[in-house]
Structure 1
Amino acid sequence: MSGTTPSAAPGERPAYRDPNVLRWLTAYGASTIGDSVYYLALSWAAVRGGSPAQAGLVLAVSAVPRALLMLGGGVIADRFGPHRVVVVSDAVRALIVLGVAALLFTTAPGLWPLAAVAVVFGIVDAMFMPAVGALPPRIAPPGQLTRIQGMRGLAHRSSLVLGAPLGGLAVALGGPAAAFGAAGLLFAVSLPLLLTLRVAPLPTDGERTEGTPWRDLADGLRYIRRHRVLGPLMIVIALSDLGFVGPLNVGLALLADARGWGAAGIGWVLAGFGVGAGAASLLLTVRGRVPRAGAVMAWTITIGAGAITALAYVPGLPVAVAASLALGLLAGLSGSLCGALTQTACDPAYLGRVTSVSHFFSLGVAPLTFPLTGAAVGLWGPGPVFAASAAICAVGGVYGLLVPALRGAELPTVPARRT
């Protein structure tokens, strides 16, 4: 679409008052809720169609193409533009999921069709995710990107809260078919909002090379390796994700079982994390900029590592909830700052590929630690495993503090509003 290059201008409108950004945020929220409903519907249909082990396999197969093709998705986003890729991939997701709903309304397809849908959905996700991450600089000026990261965090947290009950209600009323239908409609709702976005070209639009996709990918990886900020930042993101996701996604359930907190205890700890992360997102949405962003990002990761360790050693559930709230606040700040620094430090021509690298670690590599975390907790208990995971996080934070270019990285100034 035509437009002018986003730039920080005196008196520019805050992102939370920009109709264009709000359209994007609403589309993102609808799509994220659709994701939650889809995965609930898929898991329920798989459990109804086979054994628990087979259901787990169906849920796992979507992660494989997503991890393998994520870097290629970044190349596609840079070649064709993230807006176009987001629209097409969201449309494909809507058609796939609505097709599954129609199939389930008419027949019981068994596990193989569900596994095939999971694979195709994972492939499309590998295209969708890097493009989503590369889109904000095209809909808002640089000075508003931190706010957008905060708003995106709020939308993500709200979608997680709303998605599970909505999916459960759909399953209760009409079974997996109704839940798939609801997910497909949510994907479809986001399409007109995405199509009406005003997307400005960036300075390097029209300057893409005519090389092969492999050459484009290699060029993007070389760009990251040579960049004074992005190269170290990708290492920090990789280490923090590797140390963070295992304890929070697998270790927490095992910890609650070992402490006798039960399912309600898990819920309280997760609620504490969600409140903390939501508070961080709200702070960034309102404030718009964090001075010394690189240093703050590295310090929050380092201190957050201590909160991960504390979770395994606190004496009771109330203290665990407090530690989880602190961890959510620190993780929310560091995650949003990582995203904002990536978008502002990166040459726009490489943003899709750079985003795909960061997502590759968080969504592709880090989940592979889940079985390892579970086995380690079974052997040594939650305390040593949480401490080892926290150490990996801390290494990432300390590394960020030791790299002068990343430690000194700043975000663009938010222009003052004219009175």
Structure 2
Amino acid sequence: MSWRDGALAPLRDRRFRWFFASQAVDLWGTTMAPVALAFAVLAIDDSATALGQVLAARSIPTVLLLLAGGVIADRVGRRLVIQVSNGVSAISQGTAAALVITGHAELWHLAVIAAVNGTADAANFPATQGMVPQLVPRSQLQAANALLATTRGALLAVGPTTAAALVVTVGPGWALAVDALTWFVALLLLLPVRIPPPVREAATSVLHDLREGWSLFRGTAWLWQVVLAFALLNAIIAGAWHTLGPPRALDTIGAVGWGYVLSAFAVGLVAGGLVMMRVRIRRPLRAGMLGVSLFAAPLLMLGLEPVLPLLMTGAFVAGVGMELFGVGWSLAMQENIAEDKLSRAFSYDALGSLVAVPVGQVVVGPLAAWLGLRPVLVGAAAAYALICLATLGSRAVRTLERAPAEDPAPVR
């Protein structure tokens, strides 16, 4: 498979080129946002409690409204939903920037603006995921998802660094302003993209569409089984890796070392995307779950006796495996879920995968205080590996194959 005809083939379609450019700028803004917002909050109230309140104000509406976002994307059209979401985010973040720069920002201002952005995110994610199959033929879906995944991995490293540099040089208000600009540019880049409007056989209520999405979710064995697994896996990652990781690092490899480990993981995500541009997978969920199981290794290393070079290597390999799952999961969804229900399916996926994250964050601290950091991290690594193996034990997950490729669409 050549780069021209395989890995980069989706970029030959002008619609996908514009979509890809829009997504790259959108993702840049999305990865900048948490850092810019965090330092804007801390400039007003230098406390972890205040920061937690504002971050929660953003995440709670996202989780609560994900299902509604999927319904809206399927009903009114994904391109329009993404543009409105980008526009709302640009205006709200621009407002936050103006308040911070002029010195008029208060904590409640940023909390309300964060809630508005979280609401926009709830519609953006399912719309974006559902739009890819409308832009490329099925034979190019893996390449398209791999291109997007590679960009996402790179921006996970570049975005926060950009925001931090802006905070240090010109202040958090201007970091928010640049963030707002990225969303406005992303909106403009999507204007040339034309896709057919949604086709609806009969007028239905939002409640009917939600029930239809739920019926699809619970009736598709591989879908609910993987989402259930990730509800637990993400809770472990949020609790053990992201919550206990920093204090464990301070006792062992140091804060700088922990930064190197996180950077190695981000580089692994990029490498995983590049691999998926070149290697075609036949059973996306089997390959994906095997890939995601690799995260148990650095989690175990962190719990036992962290050695920086080994932990960085483990994090890199885990990043490769995580991106293997990301592309495989997108393929499984996009090839096996009806196009008119795809955004709803992604919204149920996102809701199920995120719902237990706060539990992991809350439970793991008291547990570590009782048992100690090391035993909890080792136990988390073991539980993580067992969940992955149990999911692979499902025949529906293990044997799901790629759908037959269709003839390529004409280049536009």
Q: Structure 1 length normalisation: TM-score? A: 0.88
> Share of identical aligned residues, percent?
27
Task: Quickly say closer, same or farther: Cα 1:368–1:228, change in 2 above 3 A.
Answer: closer
- In structure 1, distance between residues paired with 2:169 and 2:263: 27
8 Å contact kept, 1:241–1:361: no
Task: Quickly say closer, same or farther: Cα 1:416–1:88, change in 2 above 3 A.
Answer: closer
Note the C-alpha offset of 1:17. Answer: 4.1
Equivalent residue number for residue 323 of structure 1: 314
Equivalent residue number for residue 411 of structure 1: 402
CA RMSD of aligned residues (A): 2.5
- In structure 2, distance between residues paired with 1:404 and 1:236: 15
Note the C-alpha offset of 1:307. Answer: 4.2
Q: Aligned pair 1:267/2:259, yes or no?
A: yes
Q: Aligned pair 1:32/2:27, yes or no?
A: yes
Equivalent residue number for residue 295 of structure 1: 286
Task: Quickly say closer, same or farther: Cα 1:85–1:308, change in 2 above 3 A.
Answer: same
Equivalent residue number for residue 99 of structure 1: 95
Equivalent residue number for residue 170 of structure 2: 174
Note the C-alpha offset of 1:351. Answer: 0.8
Note the C-alpha offset of 1:24. Answer: 1.6
Equivalent residue number for residue 350 of structure 2: 359
Note the C-alpha offset of 1:12. Answer: 11
Count residues in correspondence: 403
Note the C-alpha offset of 1:174. Answer: 3.2
Aligned counterpart for 1:381 among listed residues 350, 366, 372:
372
- In structure 2, distance between residues paired with 1:119 and 1:73: 15
Q: Aligned pair 1:207/2:200, yes or no?
A: yes
Task: Quickly say closer, same or farther: Cα 1:305–1:172, change in 2 above 3 A.
Answer: closer
Equivalent residue number for residue 18 of structure 2: 23
The superposition leaves residues 275-298 of structure 1 with CA deviations (integer Å, 9 ceiling, x where unpaired) of: 2221111111233x2122232223
Residues 59-78 of structure 1: matches in 2 within 5 Å?
59-78=55-74
Note the C-alpha offset of 1:253. Answer: 0.8
- Partner of 2:105: helix, strand, or coil? coil
Equivalent residue number for residue 216 of structure 2: 223
Note the C-alpha offset of 1:126. Answer: 1.0
List alignment gaps of at least 5 residues for structure 2.
none
Note the C-alpha offset of 1:26. Answer: 1.8
- In structure 1, distance between residues paired with 2:13 and 2:233: 33
Which segment is superposed worse, 160-169 or 125-134? 160-169
Equivalent residue number for residue 7 of structure 1: none
Task: Quickly say closer, same or farther: Cα 1:12–1:317, change in 2 above 3 A.
Answer: closer
- In structure 2, distance between residues paired with 1:209 and 1:416: 30
Equivalent residue number for residue 4 of structure 1: none
8 Å contact kept, 1:312–1:383: yes
- In structure 2, distance between residues paired with 1:336 and 1:249: 23
Q: What code does the residue aligned with 2:288 have?
A: M
Equivalent residue number for residue 335 of structure 2: 344
Q: What code does the residue aligned with 1:155 have?
A: T
Equivalent residue number for residue 3 of structure 1: none
Note the C-alpha offset of 1:118. Answer: 0.9
Q: Structure 2 length normalisation: TM-score? A: 0.90
